[in-house]
Amino acid sequence: MMLLTLVENAIKHGLNPLAEGGFVRLRAERRGAELHLEVADNGRGLAAGEGHGTGLSNVRARLALLYGTRAALDVAPGEPRGFVAKVSLPLLEGATA
């Protein structure tokens, strides 16, 4: 459900305001005992003071509830424009690639 929230944010806040549209890119990668997820768009990007809305707060709260300090959500501007949300979380014991 976290990915759904991040994709919805990318479309609603990043791409929807643009007449020309754009893209949303999803990536998943295993790095050792962690899973790294990335949702990126080439939308309008962040204005000053943005990036702390309800959707992102809910994702952070869900990660904290499920994984404590072993998981994180990081957000950053995209290049040359847009928004990137990166989630890192621990893999379950015994998980295989």
pLDDT greater than 80 at residue 97: no
Residue 97 within a domain: no
Residue 14's alpha-carbon distances to 21, 24, 27, 54, 68, in angstroms, are 9, 9, 18, 15, 29
pLDDT value at residue 28: 97
Residue 96 within a domain: no
Q: Output the domain CATH number for residue 36.
A: 3.30.565.10
Residue 95 within a domain: no
pLDDT tens by residue, 45-84: 876 556 567 889 999 999 999 999 999 999 999 988 999 9
Question: The domain containing residue 28 runs over which residues?
Answer: 2-90
Residue 24 within a domain: yes
pLDDT tens by residue, 22-47: 999 999 999 999 999 999 999 988 76
Q: How many structural domains does the chain have?
A: 1
- Both tokens of residue 34? 């962690």
